[in-house]
Amino acid sequence: MQSLTEKFNELRRHLKTGLASTRQTGFDPVYYLVFPASEMLQAKRTLPTILANLKLDGYHPHVLSMADVLNTWFREHKLRPLWQRGLKDHGHDRELFRRQFSTLLENSRVITNNIAETIDAIASDPHAVLVVTDVEALHPFLHFSGVEQQLVGKFKIPTVVLYPGVRGSAYSLRFLGIHQENGNYRSVHIG
């Protein structure tokens, strides 16, 4: 099993050669740095080193935290007081809340729009790299494969997703290692 450092060095090689742009499954430069969920804290500790090495390689990394995106959206949403009260008063309806919240997140395209806006904001920089972190914050509401599918053709810059999960076949991943294997990931998987 590769260490996080070895996986990151492989990612650096992919970024230098641009292999994602020649894949038959798509033309988007999206790279998943896959690591077991048990290594999430280590991945977070390694992030400053990853960013520093990307800068040494001549890239301008931009970090987008899924936890920050969700927290901001949730804090600012007009229904937040109702959701909080409903969960407190009706704790047994948590599964219903999860489904409704998932549907609202997906229909509102909260994650997708935020990533697209971030890419558009930094796309004019030829050395920009987007690093998507805290993907585990999407659980149990969304899977990142759906986000990637909605953004096909819009990844104008290399995008690195720090992905807690397990690799399956060539194009499949298991989010957090607990969800069913999903073959809808169209990008380069490292790890």
Torsion of CA 3, 50, 144, 39, to 10 degrees: 40
The CA distance from 150 to 153, in Å, is 9
* pLDDT digits 0-9 by tens, 153-164: 889 999 999 988
Tell me whether the omega of the peptide bond preceding residue 158 falls within 30 degrees of 0, making it cis. Answer: no
Distance of CA 51 to the CA centre of its chain: 16
Q: Which of 138, 143, 137 shows the shortest CA–CA distance to 182?
A: 143
The yes-or-no verdict on residue 86 having pLDDT over 90 is no
The CA distance from 120 to 101, in Å, is 27
Phi, psi of 183, rounded to the nearest 5 degrees: -90, 15
Q: What is the pTM of this model?
A: 0.86
The yes-or-no verdict on residue 147 having pLDDT over 80 is yes
Question: Mean pLDDT across the chain, nearest whole number?
Answer: 83
The yes-or-no verdict on residue 125 having pLDDT over 90 is yes
